[in-house]
Structure 1
C-alpha cells in the first residue's frame, strides 16, 4: 500500500498563497492571535515570496537594491479571530506597481484560502540607499511584480 500525496495548496486566481505558522506564543492573554503579529507574519510571507525570486537583504543596503524600501502606509482590518496555533496562509498580490512605489494587498487566511481572518494593504516606496530618496524599481523587479498584479489589464 502506498501513501497518497497530500493535496496541493489551492492556486488563487491572482497573487500567491504563502503558508505561515501561528505558534502558541503568538497568541495574546485571551488566546487570540495578537493584532501586532498579523503584519509581522505578512511581512515574513512577502520576504519568503521575494526571496524565492532572488531578492533579499543580507546586511548591505547598497547591495539590497529593490529591497531597500520603506513603508509609507499600512491598513489592516480584522474580520475573525484566530484562536489556535497551526497552519494558516497569507494571500499576497500587488494592487498597484508604480515607478517608485507599490501597493500590495494581503489576506491572512486559512491554509486553503477559504476563510479570511484579516485583510489589508501596504504601500512601499523604493529608496536609494545613499540618499534615502525615492528611486525607481529595477526592470527585473517590475517584471516579476507584474506577475503578481491583481488586475493585469
Structure 2
C-alpha cells in the first residue's frame, strides 16, 4: 500500500452495493467523469433500500420514507477510475436523527479494497403535503440501525 492507494479499513460498518461503470460513464480521456460518481452513489442508495422492502416510487404521497431531499453532499476523489466494469458503493450511516440522516459512502473496487472516492450526504425526510421535515417511520429506523457506524 502506498500513500496514493488508499485502502479500506479492516472492519467496515455498512454494506457494499455492486454498481457498474459503463463505457459512456467515462470522459474523453477515459476516466470516470466526476459527475458520474455521485450518480452511481445515488443509484446504490435506493437499490439497498429496495431490497429491504422500501420503494422509491414516483408518487410522493406513496413514497413514505423515500420522500426525501438532499440537504448536503460532500465528495472527495482519491484516485481516478480508468475503465468500465464492476465496482461497489460502500454505504453506512453516520447519524440517524428524527427527521434526517447522514450517510457516508465510498466508491470502491468490487471487493471494497480500493477507494476511488468518498464522502457523505445528508437527507431530510419530507412530509409530501407540506414539504417540511417529517419523522422517519419506526420500520425505517429499525432497518437503518443495521447501517449505523459504531460509536467511537
TM-score, length basis structure 1: 0.90
Give the total of aligned pairs: 143
Kept in 1: contact 2:46–2:56 (CA 8 A): no
Q: Aligned residue for 1:111?
A: 110
Q: Is 2:98 aligned against 1:99?
A: yes
Kept in 2: contact 1:67–1:126 (CA 8 A): yes
Kept in 2: contact 1:146–1:152 (CA 8 A): no
Kept in 1: contact 2:106–2:119 (CA 8 A): yes
Q: Aligned residue for 2:30?
A: 31
How far is 1:14 from its partner? 1.2
How far is 1:46 from its partner? 0.6
What SS does the corresponding residue of 1:19 show, helix, strand or coil?
strand
What SS does the corresponding residue of 2:98 show, helix, strand or coil?
coil
**Which structure 2 segments of 5+ residues have no match?**
1-10
Alpha-carbon RMSD across the aligned residues, in angstroms, is 1.4
How far is 1:56 from its partner? 1.6
How far is 1:152 from its partner? 5.6
How far is 1:57 from its partner? 2.1
**Which structure 1 segments of 5+ residues have no match?**
1-11
TM-score, length basis structure 2: 0.91
What are the Cα deviations for residues 63-104 of structure 1, in whole angstroms up to 9, with x where unaligned?
A: 100000000000000000001000101100000000000000
Q: Of the two, which has the highest radius of gyration?
A: 1
- Quick one: distance in 2 between partners of 1:102 and 1:76? 17
Q: Deviation above 3 Å: which 4+ runs of structure 1? A: none
Query: Pairwise mapping of residues 62-77 of structure 1 onto structure 2 (< 5 A)?
Result: 62-77=61-76
- Quick one: distance in 2 between partners of 1:13 and 1:78? 19
Kept in 1: contact 2:76–2:119 (CA 8 A): yes
